Amino acid sequence: MIPVTMGAAREETRPAARGVTRAARRRRDALSGYAMIAPFMALLVVFNLYVFWSGFRMSLTDGQGINAGEFVGLQNYRDLLWANPFLSADFWRAVRTTFLYMFGCLATQVPVAFVLAYVLNTIPLVRTRAVLRAAFFLPVLINTVVTALLFRMFFNKDQGVLNHLLAAVGLPHDINWLMNSDWAIPLLVAVSFWQWTGFHMVYFLAQLQTIDPSLYEAARMEGVPPLRVLRSITLPLMRPAVTFVMVTSAIGCLQMFDLVFMLFPNATYGPGGVAKTLVAFIYDQGFSQQFLTGLASAIGWLTFLAIAGVSALQLRVLGLGRHGET
Amino acid sequence: MSARTSTAPASPRPSRLKRLTWPQLAGVVLLCLVGAAFLYPLLWLLDASFRAPVEIFQWPPVLVKDFPASLHTYTLDSFRAAFLHWNAGWALLMSVVVTLAGILLTLLVCSLCAYAFAFLEFPGRGPLFFLVLATMMLPMTTMIVPYYKVIRGLHLSNNLMGLVVPYAVSAFGVFMLRQYYIRIPRSLFECARVEGANHLRIWWSIVLPLSRPGAGRPGHRPVPPDLERLPVSDRSSCAASRCSRCRSGSR
């Protein structure tokens, strides 16, 4: 009732407010608007836009450490992409590792998360569903560093639980997981699978529950087979959620660093550095070996371009969610 | 394993399980198995945190080998070492301080900005909001080198503020709060405007209290709180109809 009277009041005051004060009020609104966004915008400019801009400028120099260095044009980019054989070999290997990791993650996490959410959604027992959802979500709450250390113990050759489990079921159990270059990337994918599948599942589950039950009811009355229901009702309506999960997790995968840094001992990024991702490469060049900040910034920009390209491609292929905020 | 046993199909609730169809029952069993596999590393970690190092890597696990007796060998030594020798307490305190300061700063800065984007008209509002959204796409991890230089240049390195201030720049926070604010009925503070409250005042007294998480369950329209309790203006509360404009409206 109160909102109604207030609405009426507003209607009545409008004509009076119009005219003389309107321009002044609008100017005042604009000024307060600028004043209110100013703190955020200042921080945004300093910590985001300026950082990106100065990263770009830095990538055109041969700066080392805190020395600004000389302007060298696109030399860093040229070195990375083809000119310097040692650097470009390392760079392309990092690109390969990062993309393999991303494909591995997307191919395992998204379908499994979808199936889990779908099955979970069919279970009518509310409390069982809540407990299971919590069980799948729990790994998300563990810090990546802790996760990596936990799995470092898990994959240990002689004392690790994994080899013990394999021995218990009679499989070969003398694999030195963390020291085998073939296994480095699959291990990263496996740990990420454990860590993130539940997160995607919860998102899918939330989206599944927004689907109007009357659609399913209608399909049931028409006698539509379950697979057809999945293909024609569930999947199209889940598209925004799938797009969101694919895009955000691809972006996250391409930036992966903490897991590979902590999973393998002594920051070696796997045996011979086979699992060195792009961000790990940045860290290596910029902070731990020779402090080549110019070069590291160039890798940063190339990584950024790769992320932007992958996101654009995914949005093009999967289509932007028509439901707005997904 | 406790979570698993409480949800396992054999648990003592046959009446409810009877209502499940066979595919549903198969789903429950499947999910319980997968869920147990997901929980296993965590339970192992929990168990290991109470054990002496010698016992941790034994096979079969000490907990399984002699179940009730193995509980007596639990020890708090690891926790003692963490707190007394490795200063875990201090680390925890620092985490809490940094997190709380970060949340506070983020809430103030982002909420202020979101208010302006939600309710105020000013030239350039659209492009500026788009700029904020666009920065959500910038992967800051790839810019760790210039980032470090900026933090250093502002004398924020080796300083807790270096962990707090940069995290206040949350484009996502602005976006989320704005989406929430535009659903707040404007009638809630139209009266305060008429009474002469400025935008800062409205933001602080009306919008900010409304963005408490209790009212802000995503996807729900905020429930207009009891208007009489809203501190709408200094002189009076609007719904008490002492405000002249509202009175004239209700007449």
Convert the pLDDT of each residue in B100-111 to its tens digit. 998 889 888 999
Quick check: A322 and A240 in contact, CB under 8 A?
A: yes
Residue A180 C-alpha from the chain's centroid: 27
- Nearest CA to A128 out of B104, B82, B29 is that of B29
- Residue A126's pLDDT is what? 84
With a pLDDT cut of 90, the percent of chain A lying above it is 44
Predicted confidence band of residue A17 (pLDDT cuts 50, 70, 90): very low
Q: Tell whether omega for the bond before B60 is within 30 degrees of 0, i.e. cis.
A: yes
Q: Rounded mean pLDDT of A155-167?
A: 85
Residue B148 has pLDDT above 80, yes or no: yes
The distance of B43 to chain A (nearest Cα, Å) reads 11
Q: Rounded mean pLDDT of B227-248?
A: 36
Quick check: B184 and B230 in contact, CB under 8 A?
A: no
Question: A4: which 2 tokens?
Answer: 């109604």
Start-end of H helices in A155-225: 161-168, 184-208, 213-222
Question: In this complex, do B122 and A30 lie within 8 Å of one another by their Cβ atoms?
Answer: yes
Question: In this complex, do A12 and B19 lie within 8 Å of one another by their Cβ atoms?
Answer: no
Question: In this complex, do A43 and B141 lie within 8 Å of one another by their Cβ atoms?
Answer: no
Strands (E), chain B: none
Residue B204 has pLDDT above 80, yes or no: yes
Within 8 A of B139 by CB-CB distance, chain A residues are 251, 254-255, 303-304, 307
Residue A123 C-alpha from the chain's centroid: 29
Residue of higher predicted confidence among B183 and A141: A141
Residue B139 has pLDDT above 60, yes or no: yes
Residue B156 has pLDDT above 80, yes or no: yes
Quick check: A74 and B166 in contact, CB under 8 A?
A: no
Per-position DSSP letters for B71-84, written without gaps between them: GGG--SHHHHIIII
- Residue B70's pLDDT is what? 76
Residue B57 has pLDDT above 50, yes or no: yes
| A-B contacts at Cβ under 8 angstroms | 239
- Identify the bridge partners of residue A71 per DSSP, sorted by sequence position: A61
User: How many Cβ atoms sit within 10 Å of the Cβ of residue A51?
Assistant: 24
B203 has a chain A CB within 8 A of its CB:
yes
Within 8 A of B164 by CB-CB distance, chain A residues are none
Per-residue burial over A246-256, b = 16 or more CB atoms within 10 Å of its CB, e = otherwise: bbebbbbbbbb
Question: In this complex, do B139 and A251 lie within 8 Å of one another by their Cβ atoms?
Answer: yes
Q: Give whichever of A98-112, A117-131, B55-69, B128-142 has the largest mean pLDDT.
A: A98-112
Distance CA A121, CA A244 (A): 20
Q: Rounded mean pLDDT of B167-194?
A: 82
Residue B137 C-beta-side C-alpha neighbours within 13 Å: 14
Question: A224: which 2 tokens?
Answer: 């539509």
Predicted confidence band of residue A325 (pLDDT cuts 50, 70, 90): very low
Predicted confidence band of residue A168 (pLDDT cuts 50, 70, 90): confident
Q: Which of A12-26, A181-195, B88-102, B112-126 has the lowest mean pLDDT?
A: A12-26
pTM, entire model: 0.80
Question: In this complex, do B115 and A36 lie within 8 Å of one another by their Cβ atoms?
Answer: yes
What DSSP character marks residue A319? Answer: -
Distance CA B200, CA A49 (A): 27
Chain A residue with minimal CA distance to B166? A47
Residue A24: its H or E element = helix A20-44
Within 8 A of A161 by CB-CB distance, chain B residues are 44, 57, 61
Quick check: B243 and B191 in contact, CB under 8 A?
A: yes
User: How many Cβ atoms sit within 10 Å of the Cβ of residue B249?
Assistant: 20
Predicted confidence band of residue A69 (pLDDT cuts 50, 70, 90): confident
B139 has a chain A CB within 8 A of its CB:
yes
Angle at the Cα of A298 from the Cα atoms of A106 and A40, rounded to 5 degrees:
75
- Nearest CA to A245 out of A274, A291, A202, A294 is that of A202
Distance CA A281, CA B100 (A): 33
Residue B174 has pLDDT above 50, yes or no: yes
Per-residue burial over A117-153, b = 16 or more CB atoms within 10 Å of its CB, e = otherwise: bbbbbebebeebbebbbebbbebeebebeebbebbbb
Question: In this complex, do B57 and A159 lie within 8 Å of one another by their Cβ atoms?
Answer: yes
With a pLDDT cut of 90, the percent of chain B lying above it is 11
Distance CA A280, CA A257 (A): 6
The distance of B72 to chain A (nearest Cα, Å) reads 22
Residue B11 has pLDDT above 80, yes or no: no
Question: In this complex, do A2 and B239 lie within 8 Å of one another by their Cβ atoms?
Answer: yes
Within 8 A of A151 by CB-CB distance, chain B residues are 41
- Considering only the beta carbons, identify the residue of A55, A116, A164 that sits closest to B59: A164
Residue with tokens 């502002």: B154
User: Residues 6 or more apart from A124 whose CB is under 8 A from it?
Assistant: B19, B20, B24
Q: Which of A99-108, A230-239, B48-57, B112-121 has the lowest mean pLDDT?
A: B48-57
User: How many Cβ atoms sit within 10 Å of the Cβ of residue A185?
Assistant: 21
Distance CA B233, CA A47 (A): 37
Distance CA A36, CA B203 (A): 10
Residue of higher predicted confidence among A155 and B185: A155
Within 8 A of B169 by CB-CB distance, chain A residues are 40, 43-44, 47-48
Burial class (CB in 10 A: 0-12, 13-18, 19+), A238: buried
Residue A65 has pLDDT above 60, yes or no: yes
Predicted confidence band of residue A23 (pLDDT cuts 50, 70, 90): confident
Residue B44 has pLDDT above 80, yes or no: yes
Q: Rounded mean pLDDT of B167-183?
A: 84
- Residue A322's pLDDT is what? 45
Predicted confidence band of residue B53 (pLDDT cuts 50, 70, 90): confident
Predicted confidence band of residue B201 (pLDDT cuts 50, 70, 90): confident
Distance CA A256, CA A280 (A): 8
- Residue B71's pLDDT is what? 79
Q: Rounded mean pLDDT of B186-196?
A: 79
SS3 assignment, position A91: helix
Residue with tokens 């009518």: A124
- Nearest CA to B83 out of B93, B73, B96 is that of B93
Question: In this complex, do B146 and A131 lie within 8 Å of one another by their Cβ atoms?
Answer: no
Quick check: B204 and B107 in contact, CB under 8 A?
A: no
Quick check: A139 and A113 in contact, CB under 8 A?
A: no
Mean pLDDT of chain A: 86
B223 has a chain A CB within 8 A of its CB:
no
Chain A residue with minimal CA distance to B142? A300
Residue B247 has pLDDT above 50, yes or no: no
- Considering only the beta carbons, identify the residue of B135, B165, B203 that sits closest to A44: B135
Q: Tell whether omega for the bond before B224 is within 30 degrees of 0, i.e. cis.
A: no
Chain B residue with minimal CA distance to A299? B142
Distance CA B152, CA A54 (A): 14
Per-position DSSP letters for A50-88, written without gaps between them: HHHHHHHHHTTB--BTTB---B-TTHHHHIIIIISHHHH
Predicted confidence band of residue A109 (pLDDT cuts 50, 70, 90): very high
